[in-house]
Chain A
Amino acid sequence: MDWGNIFGNAVGEIISPTTAAYALAAIGLGVHFGYTGLLNFGQAAFLLIGAYAFAIPTLAGAPIIVAVLSAIICSVIFAFILGIPTLRLRADYLAIVTIASAEVVRYIVTTTGLTDFTGAANGLSGFKGTFAAINPIPQGTYGFGPFTYNEYDWWVRIVGWALVILASVLVFLLMRSPWGRVVKGIREDEDAVRSLGKNVYSYKMQALVIGGVMGSVAGIVFILPRAVQPANYTTGLTFFIWTIMLLGGAATIFGPIVGSMIFWVVLSLTQGILYGAIESGALTFISTTQAGQIRFILVGVALMLLVIFRPQGIFGNKKELSFSV
């Protein structure tokens, strides 16, 4: 087994744009669930909307600023559509409705009737031009060891992680503001906050919009190194983001970031070790495809153990986040 390569790949995951995108989506989900207590199981829909609302205008020739604005506006609209019927409902209803809406959105972009806009099951590609055009880094390969990338890869990483830091600072400032205290109050005891004369519904909606916009920006970061594939936006994506958020700690600033790093490093390590063991003949009874599936079995088991034994995550404070329902 080539341990150097396995560890190199795993270490590379720490700053990969995918890790950044998941961290960003988990920060958004943290605003929903960690701080406000909203059970949003449709975060994948926000990523999907961000991705398509960015890619479709770009392919139609719009400049990058318009494409990004379109992604943000679409996710705000979607948050309203999602929130109006559901935010008055009990938590578990919200979970079912958000997961259902996420699937509805995915069915819509996959339908063959909209192939001209969404590319149906094939998705979209070829939208990186406008983003690459504003890249200030001159052409070439930079970096050292496992962190050696070309100028586009560095540009995606820098922008992705800058957005993650921006979102974290925003959440930090929001949550120590009066707004944040109200929102956390809603998580702890909705009726108490309502009795203080606060419009709980409106605060929940604002939290849904803020987290959703972060999700849609995560969707843009997620597609920059790859193509838009509707198959990426299944409920599995939402559950991974949940695992990441709960791993680090839902109501923490660094939790989603570290959670995402740990998640992807561990996935990369297990994949590397399993593939290496299979290729070197140490593991003979499974195929490389099955090795990929073992990782998902482990994700499922990890999610269960995490929620049962350490629901507050690695950084979380047990008093800060106890499941109230």
Chain B
Amino acid sequence: MIAGIRIGPGVRLVTMILTALALCLGVVLGSGALTANAATTPVPTPAPTQSGDFTNTYTITGILRDGDTLVTGAEITVEGGGFSEVATTDDTGRWSVVVPEKGEYTVTLDVDTLPEGVALRDADKSTATVAADEWQVNTITRSFPLGADTRQTTGFFEQFLQRLAAGLNFGLLIALAAIGITLIFGTTGLNNFAHGEMVTFGAIVAWVFAVLLGLNIFVAMVIALVLGGVFGYLNDWLLWRPLRRKGVKLVQAMIVSIGLAIAVRYLYLFNIGGDTKTMSVGLSDVVVLGPVRITTGSIISMVISIVALLLVGLFLTRTRIGKATRAVSDNPSLAAASGIDVDRIIRIVWVLAGALAALAGVMLALYRQVSWDMGFQVLLLMFAAVTLGGLGSAYGALVGSIVVGLFVELSTLFIPADLKYAAALVVLIVVLLVRPQGILGRKERIG
């Protein structure tokens, strides 16, 4: 009997690996074109040297841009050794100052001349210095990294509201993906460590269609949603169903999902490369809502997340399949005994989880950018959210996600920003200490 069952999954697995390899080879041929296309972003070129009074001209130059937007009309002052000159960035964002000698200079960006909504990424770095011993070349470049306006000119309360909005956005985004994790856990008992790769999948699909092929972002979002669902289905059909048939234990399955995550993640890296892709789809306009500054992309992302979450909620509570899903989640054997096709429900859950994860991936790509390990970076936060809410509970996942999202963003008010994820994970550990079943989990689930 065992031998008979083993052949099926074996063939499936081999098919899966072959498909994966074929996919990777296929995309490799196209990836040359992809990288070529992605590399056409403007590169700062040294300003043409002007022949002036100086036998050798020495220039300090640079280019100002906010993401892909070139900043024009900003004023930059170069001072040093009694010399002072103000340069204005032209319509390609370039500025340059010809200086009289190889000396020490201070380069200052006048922050007030920056356009509305653009600010220095690090507000303290509006000046840069040029040291005398740097003049090995005739042209020296100084750049001022720009980013979203995060100036601390506002009071604590405004900062708090700002972070609250960002946290809510991030929390909703995590919730989209986390509901998939919790549904899969509820119906199959599997902790899917490859869920982050489903998120990345959505982001990469959206990037390919919206940026490389130039489609409208909303069209790309729908394509990502559909392909994400297909991806989820393939996951179940090629791997998890055969493993369920084979009777693979849960811990074993969890380690399989880790192996899958490693393989798929490096497949992405293999195909799209390790650099971060900019998702410039024109949704970065800043809207001011009272004290809160927020991008249109974030607003759209929050609205879409809320609508998607409401739809999932309605699906789970109002439709027959949704009710069947909750029944399987509660007790698979009992559900099967009452005539529910458990395998079909699990398949639907995988499609739903794949589609939601892909949607979350698109949102994440709008919120940050696209990179090969972006999903893996948020995977632990998603697990933290699911565990906080109580494994297997869909509402718990929502609550947990918002707690995690808010905590990640609000913690930056008190601790360095590079520790914000650590803070969220510490909260997870602390909550497990006092309430191991999670916020909304039921006590008997812990065993």
Contact = CB atoms under 8 A, between A and B. Distances in A.
Contacts of A323: 249-252
Contacts of B9: 308
A158 interface: no
A93 B436 contact: yes
B393 interface: no
A307 B191 contact: no
B270 A290 contact: yes
Contacts of A1: none
Interface stretch (B144-152, B342-350, B424-432): B424-432
B254 A308 contact: no
B432 A297 contact: no
A294 B383 CA distance: 28
Interface in B376-399: 376, 380, 383-384, 387, 391
A93 B185 CA distance: 12
Sorting the interface of chain B by its residue count into under 10, 10 to 19, 20 to 34 or 35 or more gives 35 or more
Given A103-B422, A300-B263, A97 B428 contact: yes
Given A103-B380, A304-B256, A296 B436 contact: no
Secondary structure of the A contact surface, majority rule: helix
Interface stretch (B89-97, B105-113, B134-142, B413-421): B413-421
Contact of B422 (A99, A104, A243): A104
A311 B191 CA distance: 18
A107 B274 CA distance: 21
Interface string A24-66: 0000000000000001000000000000000000000000000
Given A100-B383, A285-B28, A91 B259 contact: no
A325 B250 contact: yes
Given A85-B432, A103-B380, A107-B421, A311 B262 contact: no
A236 B262 CA distance: 8
A108 B255 contact: no
B263 A307 contact: no
A115 to B, nearest CB: 11
Interface in B257-304: 258-267, 269-270, 274
A159 to B, nearest CB: 31
B251 A300 contact: no
Contact of B258 (A88, A90, A110, A239): A239
Interface residues of A, number: 55
Given A97-B432, A100-B429, A304-B259, A92 B191 contact: yes
Interface string B17-55: 100100011001100000000000000000000000000
Interface in A89-124: 89-93, 95-97, 99-101, 103-104, 107-108, 110-113
A85 B432 CA distance: 7
B266 A293 contact: yes
Contact of A111 (B13, B269, B418, B446): B418
A306 B265 CA distance: 19
Interface of B: 9-10, 13, 17, 20, 24-25, 28-29, 191, 243, 246, 248-252, 254-256, 258-267, 269-270, 274, 376, 380, 383-384, 387, 391, 416, 418-419, 421-422, 425-426, 428-430, 432-433, 436, 446-447
Interface of A: 39, 84-86, 88-93, 95-97, 99-101, 103-104, 107-108, 110-113, 235-236, 239, 242-243, 246, 285-286, 289-290, 293-294, 296-309, 311, 322-325
24 contacts: A85-B429, A89-B432, A93-B446, A95-B191, A97-B428, A97-B429, A99-B380, A103-B425, A107-B419, A111-B418, A112-B416, A239-B258, A285-B25, A293-B270, A300-B262, A301-B17, A303-B258, A305-B13, A307-B255, A307-B256, A308-B9, A308-B248, A323-B252, A325-B251
